[in-house]
Amino acid sequence: MNFREFWNRLTAGGASGERSKKRKKREHRYSGKARVLYYCYITLTVLAGLIVTGYVLFSFMSAPPPVNPPEVTRPPQPVTGDDGPDIIQPSMDRKEQFYTFLLVGQSQETGGSLTDTMMLAAYDVPNQSLSIMSLPRDTYVELNGRNVLLNTVYTRSGSGDRGVKALKQEVSELTGVYPDYYVVIQWEAFGELVDAIDGVWYDVPRDMYYWDPTQDLLIDVKKGPQLLNGDKAMQVVRFREGRNGYVDGDLGRIRTQQGFMTALVKKCLDPGVLLSNLTEYIGIFQRNVTTDLDLNALTYFAKMAIGGLDMDRVSFMTLPIREAGDGAHLLVQRDQTVEMVNESFNPYVEDIGAWELNVVTSIPIPSRAPVVSAEPSVSPAPENSPDLTESPDPEESVPPQPSDTGDEPFIPEITDTPGTEESEAPVFSPPPAESGEPPILVPPVVEDTPQPQESQEPPVYSEEPPMLPN
């Protein structure tokens, strides 16, 4: 007898043998459908345990994130009392769980140099309210004592962390709100997200056609309600001009972007949409998004928004602006902005005052100097003949001409001296101090222009190439 036979005889009537008999008896008792149900019960019990464990971990990781003290303090309020001039420092006390975000959209086609889509968002968690304000790219701001366009601040300040910091500072001066967090999104992620959620239904407001052979870029979307995939969605939110372009340029594009984002957010707030393919969305986020939000904060906001935030409490709006007077750019309206911010974006307990905004109120409108040619040496003109050497009227002003890039107009240099390196955007000297901002209302919504009949041939450029959408 070898050892194995000896051990089998020794343990045949032991505890292991008894357990083996009981197991066989139990399996014999559950046969056919009953056995299937028995194993399903065991599986569901294990899954329930995993779900409970995951929920506990999810709740632990999604605690409300702290709000770091801002890098700037609120500007003091100058007042004049009985004892002479004085200042009052506004309180930094904040509303509970009220968070602000700077959302920035970039495109790889421009190398990420311009931030042509910028938004200030505010999420009031206790009241489940989300407000999003579009910041027009062509708005003038003051950067280092010079007037530049808002969409150039990021690049002029060095891009990366320095560019984001400078952009947050300019948003603070425009609105009085220094964003708590930032999210920089490559526009390519926008199309990937739309594809990941199987498209978005949207009523396209107009026929959109734009063709640029230099970039091999074609935008061709028909008007009307339709299910947009990622590529078509990108075309809709990027379209600005060309055939059937918006008469008010970027402001028209902002209206369309807000309409599409409303439809996108509505679908994303459905728990069955995001939770069904969460790993893919995380991958898209990691590849295309730069942010200072950590995983705990992202988990918290996702948990609070999905199933808790209703579309009736989601609102889109645009920074109150007016035309700058040069036919292409914009200035902020201080009083209307303060009213909008205090209504939906102010994270502080105390209202934000108009003195806290540092906005450009006017810009000089240059005119070209008249060109006077030398008087030719010819015989005197006969009487009653027109004076061919008469100079143009020196008071006549010529509007700025568009640049080759289509991003900004060409405006004669005013403050730069020879050898100045910056030339990407028009630069002006600071405007003179004014007693107050002219009471000009927000430009009304411009109706769509009549749409010409579509043709199959691409447009032919006659003089200059069209402005490229950013």
Helix-helix angle 187-196:230-238, to 10 degrees: 140
428 assigned to some structural domain: no
Q: Are residues 136 and 47 in the same domain?
A: no
Q: Provide the residue-wise pLDDT of the chain in tens; the chain has 470 residues.
A: 565 665 566 555 555 555 555 555 555 555 566 666 666 767 777 776 666 555 555 555 567 888 876 677 888 888 877 776 778 889 999 999 999 999 998 865 555 567 888 999 999 999 999 999 999 999 999 999 899 999 999 999 988 889 999 999 999 999 999 999 999 988 778 889 899 999 999 999 999 999 888 877 889 999 999 999 999 999 999 898 877 888 888 889 999 999 999 999 999 888 888 777 777 887 888 888 899 988 888 888 888 888 788 888 999 999 999 998 887 899 999 999 999 999 999 999 999 999 999 999 988 876 655 555 544 444 444 444 444 444 444 444 443 443 343 444 444 443 333 333 433 444 444 444 444 444 444 444 444 544 444 444 444 444 444 444 44
pTM of the model: 0.66
206 and 258 inside one domain? yes
Same domain, 216 and 115: yes
Long-range contacts of 382-388 (CB under 8 A, 24+ apart): none
Domain finish residue from 339, 356, 373: 356
Of all helices (H) and strands (E), which one includes residue 121?
A: strand 117-124
Tell me: do 122 and 256 sit in the same domain.
yes
Render pLDDT for 348-402 as a digit per residue (tens, 0 to 9): 999 999 999 999 998 887 665 555 554 444 444 444 444 444 444 444 444 344 3
For residues 48 and 136, state if they share a domain: no
Indicate the residue type of 31: S
Question: Is residue 400 one of the residues assigned to a domain?
Answer: no
**Are 175 and 253 part of one and the same domain?**
yes
Residues 163 and 14 both lie in one domain: no
pLDDT the model gives residue 59: 53
Instruction: For residue 388, tell me if it sits in a domain.
Output: no
CB 140 within 8 A of CB 148: yes
Query: Are 234 and 277 in a shared domain?
Result: yes
Structure tokens at 245: 């372009």
pLDDT at position 404 is 41
Contact 97, 125 (CB under 8 A): yes
Radius of gyration of the chain (CA): 32
Is 398 contained in some domain?
Answer: no
pLDDT in tens, 84-106: 677 888 999 999 999 999 999 88
Number of domains the chain contains: 2
Looking at 356, 377, 395, the residue that finishes a domain is 356
The verdict on 52 and 103 lying in the same domain is: no
Helix/strand/coil percent split, the chain, to 5 = 35, 20, 45
Question: b/e for 288-321, b at 16 or more Cβ within 10 A?
Answer: beebebeeebbbbbbebbbeebeeeebbbebbbb
Domain boundary among the residues 303, 331, 356 is at 356
Residue 391 lies in a domain: no
Instruction: Report the CATH number that the domain containing residue 170 is assigned in CATH.
Output: 3.40.630.190
Chain mean position to CA 435: 33
Task: Answer yes or no: is 361 within a domain.
Answer: no
Whether residues 16 and 160 share a domain: the answer is: no
Q: Could you give the C-alpha distances from 123 to 68, 98, 102, 242, 338, in angstroms and in order? A: 16, 6, 12, 36, 18
Instruction: Write down the pLDDT at residue 468.
Output: 43
Asked if residue 191 is part of any domain, the answer here is yes
Separation CA 280–CA 302 (nearest Å):
15
Would residue 247 count as lying in a domain? yes
- Same-domain check for residues 54 and 126: no
**Residue 152 CB neighbour total at 10 angstroms:** 22
Please give the residue range of the domain that contains residue 28.
3-61
268 and 201 part of one domain: yes
